[in-house]
Amino acid sequence: MGGGKKENLEGKVAPLLPAPCILLPEPLRPEPHSSHLVPRRWAVADLVSSDFPYKLSADNVFLTVGCTEAINIITTVLARPGANILLPRPGYPQYQARAAFCRLEVRYFDLLPDRGWELDLDSLESLADDNTVAMVLINPSNPCGNVFTYHHLKKVAETAKKLGIFIISDEVYAHLTFGSKPYVAMGAFASIVPIITLGSLSKRWVVPGWRLGWIVTCDPHGILQDIGIVTNIKTYLDITSNPPTFVQAAVPQILEKTKDDFYTKNLNIMKEAAEILYDRCKEIPCLTCPHKPEGTMTAMLKINFSKIEGIVDDVDFCVKLAKEESVVLLPGATVGLKNWIRITYVVDPSALKEGLSRIKSFSLRHAIQLP
């Protein structure tokens, strides 16, 4: 830049403050290589391995910018010409979107509403071929709101082993269960098949804006290491940005010092909302909730077209409901299940009751008129 230009800029650009311009706690000054904050990775390793019989180390943990980036990394790392990945239907749209972006073919296996949203293991088996690299499981399940049992997860692990693929277990809702089934970490079955667990602070600690997530390799036989997945994750992390250092610095405190009553209080709020949803849904003729939510903050509701008229599909339902009642639901098509609805029900109980009563009015207004 020429001298004249520089002078022109003077007075227009705020002078640099003497460093450090923000008063950061000592361990943060200076930490340019945010990916190397080992104590934070240990904290995540301890948290995740407390859920199963063997211990992970910081080497198994990669910190990411939320679980969203964890998904981006893992799908990109797996993509190669001709490869495919098996995804649950209904599922979480980020997987499909990212796979399309890196030209990874997706194939869907069904989650079965009349079996408490368990996997259709037969359809899973029939989808896989030599080019299948992995399958994705979301437990506790967004969008279905169910929690998989130990027994079912073991069967899933055995099926994956038989197919020669590993499992990406999205446990962003880990421990957010309030029904009769406890949360079981898929990593508990890592001796059967390698598991890549994804998680984040967003849901359990209710800080989605803090953008801190993780990829954890649960791989006691070192298979992911041998086939180069671990190296590829490291390479990806070298060319992408890391979570902000001050959020990373807070991780051990957040994971180790959050008081139990924070968790209990949130679970009670979720449980109460789930009860309200399930009970009031029975009074809405055009919707059925096939399975009472036992975890997460979402549920799938089926539209009964035999009870309403003048509505063609799930998108039409949601558009008309928004226009007439100012209630916003997500069309099932967005999560892979046409003519269903996904509801996010964890809101203030009075708002939830009000919302559901508006959906009921909508249902009655559009009810089929018998001659």
Ligand X SMILES: *Cc1c(COP(=O)(O)O)cnc(C)c1O
Site string for ligand X, 194-233 (x = CB under 6 A): ------x-x-----x----x--------------------
Cβ of residue 247: shortest distance to ligand X, in angstroms? 12
Among 138, 167, 174, 185, binds ligand X (CB under 6 A): 138
Cβ of residue 243: shortest distance to ligand X, in angstroms? 10
Nearest to ligand X of 200, 242 (CB atom): 200
245 binds ligand X (CB under 6 A): no
User: Which one, of 167, 164, 163, lies nearest residue 186 by Cα?
Assistant: 167
Cα diameter, the chain: 87
Binding span for ligand X by CB under 6 A among 64-72, 127-135, 148-156, 310-318: 64-72
Other C-beta atoms lying within 10 Å of the C-beta of residue 51: 17
Cβ of residue 207: shortest distance to ligand X, in angstroms? 9
Per DSSP, the residues of 167-183 read: EEEE-TTTT-B-SSSPP
| Strand ranges of the sheet holding 287-288, from the earlier edge strand across to the other edge | 287-288, 298-303, 340-344, 330-331
Cβ of residue 172: shortest distance to ligand X, in angstroms? 4
Give the residue at shortest CB distance from ligand X.
66
Residues 6+ apart with CB under 8 A from 351: none
Residues within window 151-190 making contact with ligand X, judged by CB under 6 A: 170, 172
Site string for ligand X, 89-108 (x = CB under 6 A): ---x----------------
Nearest to ligand X of 216, 308 (CB atom): 216
Per DSSP, the residues of 92-144 read: -HHHHHHHHHTT-EEEEEEEEGGGTTEE-HHHHHHH--TTEEEEEEESSPTTT
Binding span for ligand X by CB under 6 A among 62-70, 258-266, 279-287, 308-316: 62-70
Site string for ligand X, 10-29 (x = CB under 6 A): --------------------
247 binds ligand X (CB under 6 A): no
CA distances from 347 to 210, 270, 329, 333 (A): 21, 8, 13, 23
Tokens 């399958």 sit on residue? 135
Nearest to ligand X of 187, 360 (CB atom): 187
111 binds ligand X (CB under 6 A): no
Nearest to ligand X of 106, 284 (CB atom): 106
What are 163's two structure tokens?
């197919």
Give the count of residues interacting with ligand X (CB under 6 A). 12
For 158-186, give one letter per residue: b (16+ CB within 10 A) or e. ebbeebebbbbbbbbbbbbbbbebebbbb
Nearest to ligand X of 173, 317 (CB atom): 173
Among 142, 146, 169, 177, binds ligand X (CB under 6 A): 142
- The C-alpha atoms of residue 193 and residue 162 are separated, in whole angstroms, by 9
Strand partners, 118: 112
CA distances from 294 to 27, 277, 335 (A): 40, 12, 19
Other C-beta atoms lying within 10 Å of the C-beta of residue 334: 15
285 binds ligand X (CB under 6 A): no
Binding span for ligand X by CB under 6 A among 42-50, 60-68, 81-89, 307-315: 60-68
What are 70's two structure tokens?
């964890």
| Residue numbers at the binding site for ligand X (CB under 6 A) | 66-68, 92, 138, 142, 170, 172, 200, 202, 208, 213
